[in-house]
């Protein structure tokens, strides 16, 4: 019998209202059993989609002009509402994903922490990017006008939920949190693999919107076919940016649609990465069993369904590399497969592994055992030589799940050549000791051009959410190498600069007024002036320096 859920309605939430779709229905599935989960979710059509985008456009002015404290309190309220529904959210997410309870509770905590982190960003206000070049009427040979700059939100944003993170990269995840923090209404396209989880979190956001007295169009949650409603959402002229986490094919399809619009818009898509890990000679002289166990844990965690999973490892040719692979075999063979997120993802993993294993010059290094549930294939590690890796593009493709390829390199020159052939990646990891620094120095400049985050003596899985984090990289890791989808810098994706020249004080937005009513740090005449040192009290800002 299908599993029931008493409180779920199976509808989209359009501008605060539960809305039954006019299209077909979809259900969630428990991937451990392939059991259908109720309720069925009705899919909206394009006319109903237009209701959501029109409401978002109507809501833009109210959200984009909020003062910092009200805005921050709204974001924190979403976190509070999600925590209040936490038990129900975790229980449903476990059913829809097959992920264990500790993972789901950790992801819930990360989701609420992200929202509160962005609330602190909004309160502090540096993302507004205030710059003021005061007038210099007596400057020669030409006077200078009063020019002020701030960053403003782009407009309504479309966000697509990720399959592998039903909370932290989903309804209230990093894309939604950073867009709302920027002042952009969000229309969230739920992932059909976890519709119930999306509804529960969507309700929490809707309640927070209502609590804050904001226009209900600030947030809508929609269910619909990706090939039609997803594309129609990106095509809608109201939408000004897109956040996406998923496959390369899905991301590039949205990019093509966005680029073909009469007004092209940015698509911030995180897509494909195999996250190379490089072992240098010195690092393989210590505890190989400990290193191998950590590697296997990183490969197999969450059944390998993490965008930072180490799908590629480089080891030196010779005894040290061979000993490491022997340790990997000892660590992996007792490991059982974990339930993958969907039957489709498990099928894709099997196809990818079959393709990898059938390549000339690729051999099976180690394999675990199948898991106890459906859709839980045995994790695998394959091996090859650098020469083969350099010549075969199939070996550069991501296999989403617990699979990894070990490549033997015979020289620094060969390692550098392999690094240069890599596609864009989210991460690269160096395992080394001080005896390896000279060799590593020749590889590091190559990696800087290929990846968004470089680690030493660690593992790429586990992404800290903070101010300095970069979770991005050159294509195909992401569609825009200048951005990150994790960390406070993610807010910059949904902002643009506007300059105001000789605008009277009474007409200036609060962020650039002389009195600095929002108490923002500002750059005045090129010098950063902390809020506590601003002019304040309505005093006119005057130029300083030789040209004043």
Encode pLDDT of 372-431 as tens digits. 988 999 999 999 999 999 999 999 999 999 999 999 999 999 999 999 999 999 999 999
DSSP 247: -
Q: 26: which 2 tokens?
A: 């979809």
Q: Could you give the CA distance from residue 176 to residue 449 in angstroms, rounded to a whole number?
A: 28
pLDDT at 438 over 60: yes
Mean per-residue pLDDT over the chain, rounded? 94
In a domain? residue 523? no
The reply to whether 332 and 389 lie within a common domain is: yes
CA 296-401-171 angle, to 5 degrees, is 115
Active site residues: 270, 307
What secondary structure does DSSP assign to 399-431, as a single string?
A: --SSEEEEEEESSHHHHHHHHHH---EEEEEEE
pLDDT at 177 over 80: yes
Per-residue confidence at 7, pLDDT binned at 50, 70, 90?
Answer: confident
Q: Which of 246, 270, 294 is the last residue of a domain?
A: 270
Closest CA to 300 of 326, 280, 328: 328
The reply to whether 147 and 183 lie within a common domain is: yes
Domain that holds residue 137: 13-270
Q: Which of 239, 270, 301 is the last residue of a domain?
A: 270
Which SS3 state, helix, strand or coil, does residue 248 take?
helix
Mean pLDDT of the region 161-189? 96
E strands in 235-362: 241-245, 267-270, 276-279, 312-316
Mean pLDDT of the region 132-158? 97
The reply to whether 395 and 424 lie within a common domain is: yes
Q: How high is the pLDDT of residue 23?
A: 86
Q: Could you give the CA distance from residue 127 to residue 521 in angstroms, rounded to a whole number?
A: 10
- The number of folded domains in the chain is 2
Tens-digit pLDDT profile for residues 37-80: 999 999 999 999 999 999 999 999 999 999 999 999 999 999 99
The reply to whether 23 and 172 lie within a common domain is: yes
pLDDT at 546 over 50: no
Q: How high is the pLDDT of residue 547?
A: 40
- Using CB atoms within 10 A of its CB, is residue 7 exposed (0-12), middle (13-18) or buried (19+)? exposed
Q: Could you give the CA distance from residue 485 to residue 47 in angstroms, rounded to a whole number?
A: 31
- CA distances to 4, 95, 142, 189, 245 from 40, rounded to whole Å, are 10, 15, 69, 16, 24
Q: 534: which 2 tokens?
A: 């601003």
In a domain? residue 115? yes
The reply to whether 233 and 283 lie within a common domain is: no
Task: Report the 10 Å Cβ neighbour count for 87.
Answer: 11
The reply to whether 81 and 146 lie within a common domain is: yes
Q: How high is the pLDDT of residue 337?
A: 96
Q: Could you give the CA distance from residue 167 to residue 84 in angstroms, rounded to a whole number?
A: 15
pLDDT at 535 over 60: no
pLDDT at 136 over 80: yes
């Amino acid at each position: 019998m299908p599993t029931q859920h008493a409180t779920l309605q199976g509808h989209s939430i359009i501008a605060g209202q539960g809305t039954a779709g006019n299209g077909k229905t979809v259900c969630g599935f428990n991937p451990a059993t392939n059991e259908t989960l109720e309720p069925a979710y009705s899919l909206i059509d394009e006319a109903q989609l237009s209701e959501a985008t029109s409401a978002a456009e109507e809501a833009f002015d109210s959200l984009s002009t909020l003062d910092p404290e009200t805005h921050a309190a709204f974001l924190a309220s979403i976190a509070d509402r999600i925590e209040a529904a936490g038990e129900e959210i975790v229980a449903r997410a476990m059913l829809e994903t097959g992920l264990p309870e500790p993972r789901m509770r950790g992801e819930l905590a990360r989701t609420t922490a992200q929202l509160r982190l962005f609330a602190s960003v909004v309160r502090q206000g540096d993302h507004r990017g205030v710059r003021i070049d005061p007038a210099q009427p007596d400057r020669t040979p030409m006077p200078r006008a009063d020019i002020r700059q701030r960053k403003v939100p782009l407009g309504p944003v479309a966000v697509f939920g990720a399959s592998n993170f039903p909370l932290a990269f989903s309804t209230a995840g990093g894309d939604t949190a950073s867009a709302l923090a920027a002042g952009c209404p969000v229309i969230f396209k739920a992932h059909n693999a976890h519709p119930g989880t999306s509804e529960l979190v969507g309700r929490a956001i809707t309640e927070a919107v209502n609590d804050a007295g904001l226009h209900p169009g600030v947030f809508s949650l929609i269910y619909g076919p990706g090939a039609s409603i997803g594309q129609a959402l990106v095509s809608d002229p109201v939408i000004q940016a897109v956040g996406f986490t998923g496959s390369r094919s899905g991301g590039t399809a949205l990019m093509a649609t966005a680029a073909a619009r009469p007004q092209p818009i940015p698509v911030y898509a995180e897509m494909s990465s195999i996250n190379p890990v490089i072992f240098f000679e010195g690092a393989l002289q210590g505890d190989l069993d400990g290193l191998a166990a950590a590697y296997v844990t990183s490969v197999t965690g969450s059944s390998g369904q993490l965008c930072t999973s180490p799908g590629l490892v480089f080891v030196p040719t010779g005894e040290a590399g061979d000993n490491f692979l022997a340790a990997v075999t000892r660590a992996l063979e007792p490991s059982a497969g974990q339930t993958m997120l969907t039957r489709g993802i498990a099928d894709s993993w099997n196809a990818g592994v079959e393709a990898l294993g059938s390549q000339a010059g690729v051999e099976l290094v180690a394999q675990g055992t199948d898991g106890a549930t459906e859709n839980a294939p045995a994790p695998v590690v394959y091996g090859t030589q650098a020469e083969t890796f350099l010549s075969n593009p199939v070996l550069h493709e991501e296999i989403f799940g617990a699979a990894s390829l070990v490549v033997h390199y015979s020289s620094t020159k060969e390692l550098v050549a392999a690094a240069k052939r890599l596609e864009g990646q989210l991460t690269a990891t160096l395992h080394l000791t001080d005896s390896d620094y000279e060799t590593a120095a020749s590889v590091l400049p190559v990696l800087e051009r290929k990846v968004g985050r470089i680690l030493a003596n660690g593992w790429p899985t586990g992404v800290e959410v903070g101010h300095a984090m970069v979770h991005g990289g050159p294509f195909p890791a992401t569609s825009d190498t200048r951005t990150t989808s994790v960390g406070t810098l993610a807010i910059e994706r949904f902002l643009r600069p506007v300059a105001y020249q000789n605008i009277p004080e009474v007409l200036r937005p609060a962020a650039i007024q002389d009195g600095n009513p929002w108490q923002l740090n500002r750059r005045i005449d090129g010098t950063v002036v902390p809020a506590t040192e601003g002019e304040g009290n309505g005093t006119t800002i005057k130029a300083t320096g030789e040209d004043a």
